Structure 1
Amino acid sequence: MSVPEANCPSPLEQQKSEHRALAVLRMLGREPSYASNEEIVGCYFTRLGLACPRAQVRECLAMLERPGLIEVSTVEMLSVIRLTAKGDEVGKGLVVVEGVLRPGVDCPY
């Protein structure tokens, strides 16, 4: 039985999702506290041409939290995210995780 096309992300959306995941990890790696929040992440996506609804920002963060690349906590209805050591390794391209684009030599993020 085949999965309806409506439930499958388009190849372009899949690629954007992988770029967003890498962008989050690289952004957090440059923060002095290795932390930020979902509001800042959403603004960063917009600056990079990867704008998406808040629900998609949260999906991206949940996808990064599942394999332990980030830790997510909630403070007054806002998701606060912190980079983990594994997430830093993925952001640097030392470890490959499905769903996260591997950075190239001249990665713009």
Structure 2
Amino acid sequence: MFVGVNRVLSDAESKSFFSKKTERSTQRWTLKIPFLTVRETLLYKPALNASQVMCPTLIVIAGQDTVNPPEQGRALFDAVGGPKKKRLYEESSARHYDIYAGEHF
């Protein structure tokens, strides 16, 4: 069983990103995600286990992200515990999908 990407990523930023990809493609661009992947993604809570991370950690956040707001990345950073090195990097003008295209790519 598969789920269309627009049913899962229904926020404005995701819809805009995927519609632009579809418009640029000469082939029909239909992205479907396995239902179990969607289920696991919805249940995924990395902050719950972040305190158990025992290696150097880099958390990267996009300051203008509306898919995963920067507050979530900061909370994850705060949840990483222990004596290991950790670093938070924020690209203040970037949005969620800018890592795939544009000046931040």
TM-score interval, normalised by the smaller of the two chains: under 0.3
Rg larger in structure: 2
Q: Which has the higher contact order (CA 8 A, sep 6+)?
A: 1
TM-score normalised per structure 2: 0.23
TM-score normalised per structure 1: 0.23
